[in-house]
Amino acid sequence: MNPAEVTEFRAQVSAWLSDNKPADPGFLLPETFMEVGTDQQFEFLRDWQRKVYEAGYLGMSWPEAYGGGGQPQLMQEIVNQEMAAQRVPFVPNTIGLNWAGPLILDMGSEADKNRYIKNILSAEDIWCQGFSEPDHGSDLGNAQVRAVRDGDEYVINGSKIWTSLGSYAKYMILIARTSTEGPNKYAGLSFFLAPMNVPGVNPTPIKKLTGEYGFCQTYFDDARIPADCMLGQEGEGWSVAMKTLMFERGAIGGQAGGLSMMDLNINDIIELARRATRNGQPAIDDPLTRDELTKLVLEAKGNGLMASKAKIPVLNQGYPTAVAMSSKLRGSELKRKMTRFALSLQGANGARYISNQAMDGGKWQRSYLNAFSATIGGGTTQIQKNILGERVLGLPKS
């Protein structure tokens, strides 16, 4: 695309978004797919995703044959930027769009692609992820949910936990143990594109720290799934799971795009600092607050510039993967710090929670509590630091 085409396309997207952006629903929306807690929230967001897809603004760079747009990735990036700029709601099928989808396109069969891709984009089929278990979270390689072959089927038993979108999902990317033998804990794992609507699969909602619902514990009780749901070979589940996590953390590209969370950026915090008062004056006038705010502004700008640097190979010769591999860590930690700081701008009102008396209805308090979803989910900050230390710096394993 030449610069004129880019400008024209951007204008077109921007116009479409302002015409079609949904009106305020009148209830609090979740901030990420991990917090979709009511049917009302879910339906609102699913309808929005469908509309975006039908307008051609989702999966723009995915192959046309499977329902994608067959366009350059740059176009999707422009759409993503405009969506963030216009503060539209996020598209909720995040696991499908950003990790199951690219994974299927990367290593699925022709039949898999025909069957799943289009419905991921249109939000017809919601996807969830069955990785974590009650006793094995960070130590994912130790997953114990069993999958036993029986004829043309696998029989699944055990439970997965923290299943985001579990109650709405039609499919789950599932990692389960097909064997307890093998040289190490990783060897017996296999990866499935598992249907949720079969007897014996029961997602049960769990209440989150915010007081709302958002994820599930998913029980498997002799659930039978077709054997051809397996992705990769039996016993290769660990490497497929690792690839999935690379998509999830944005360390490799190929995602369908669209906003995957409500955009919160540093300008929102600056704006809040002007409105909120601390000890009788706008928080932004307090010198200590200013200093803290400046630190956060710098961290936010720095993160943006790191992404820009990562695109220039000569500037990344030392540790070429450092920026991409740390993007989830940096982004989630910054969001946690920003939302936590937001409370401190409000004086005694920092102690309020979702209610009419709270500033902006308590959105900031809720945001702060919700911010841990990303510092814990998808591999905790501590685990990310292990990975960066070991894979990027070459330090020995802990």
Partner 1 sequence: MIVFSEEQAMLLDTANEFCQNQAPLSAVREVIHNDAAMDPVVWQTMVDLGWLGISIPESFGGLGMNLADAVPIFEAMGRQLMDTPLLASTVAAQVLIKDGSEEQKSTWLQKISSGTIASVAYQETDGNWDLDAIEAVLTPTDAGGLILSGTKTLVPDAEVADLFVVSALHEGRPVWCLVSRESLSASSSIERETVIDETRRSYRVHFSDVLLSPKEVLPGCHFQHFELASMMLIAAEMSGGLAGLLEVVVDYLNTRKQFDKLIGSYQALKHPTVDILLGSEMVRSYLYHAATVWRENESVIAVESAIRMAKCCASEQFSEAGDRGIQFHGGFGFTYDCDAQLFLRRALWSQYQLGDERYQRQKLGALLF
Residue closer to ligand FAD, measured from CB, 249 or 363: 249
Could you tell me the smallest distance in angstroms from the CB atom of residue 130 to partner 1?
Answer: 28
Report the candidate in 241, 161, 239 with the shortest Cα–Cα distance to residue 202.
161
Residues 249-288 close enough to bind ligand FAD by CB under 6 A: none
Amino acid identity at 318: G
List the single partner that 281 binds among partner 1, ligand FAD, none, CB under 5 to 8 Å by kind: none
Amino acid making up residue 225: I
In angstroms, rounded to a whole number, what is the distance separating the alpha carbons of residues 261 and 305?
21
Closest residue by Cα to residue 248 from 83, 132, 364: 132
CA distance 163 to 184: 26
Least Å distance between CB 55 and ligand FAD?
Answer: 28
Closest CA to 122 of 35, 217, 56, 28: 56
Query: For residue 296, what are the CA distances in angstroms to 270, 293, 302, 349, 379?
Result: 10, 5, 10, 21, 24
Would you say 112 or 212 has its CB closer to ligand FAD?
212
Q: Give the CA distances from residue 267 to residues 200, 272, 338, in Å, rounded to whole numbers and listed in that order.
A: 48, 8, 11
Please identify, among the stretches 14-22, 177-185, 296-304, 369-377, the one whose residues bind ligand FAD according to the rule CB under 6 A: 369-377
The interface partner of residue 206, options being partner 1, ligand FAD, none and the CB cut-off 5 to 8 Å by kind, is: none
228 binds, among partner 1, ligand FAD, none (CB under 5 to 8 A by kind): none
| Binding letters toward ligand FAD, positions 143-172, x by CB under 6 A | -------------------xxx--------
DSSP string, 34-98: GG--SHHHHHHHHHHHHHHHHTT-SSTTS-GGGT-----HHHHHHHHHHHHHTTPPPPS-HIIII
Closer to ligand FAD by Cβ: residue 376 or 392: 376
Enumerate the active-site residues: 248
Q: At what angle do helices 73-85 and 3-20 cross, to 10 degrees?
A: 40
Residue 305 interaction partner, one of ligand FAD, partner 1, none, beta carbon < 5-8 Å per kind? partner 1
Least CB distance from residue 150 to partner 1, whole Å? 43
Q: What DSSP designation does 210 have? A: T
Closest approach, Cβ 310 to partner 1, in A, equals 9
376 binds ligand FAD (CB under 6 A): yes
Residue 156 tokens, joined: 């699944």
Question: Shortest approach of partner 1 to residue 197 CB, angstroms?
Answer: 42
Contact call for residue 129 and ligand FAD (CB under 6 A): yes
Contact flag: residue 99 with ligand FAD (CB under 6 A):
no
The site for ligand FAD (CB under 6 A) is made up of: 34, 128-132, 137-138, 162-164, 215, 373, 376-380, 382-383, 386, 398
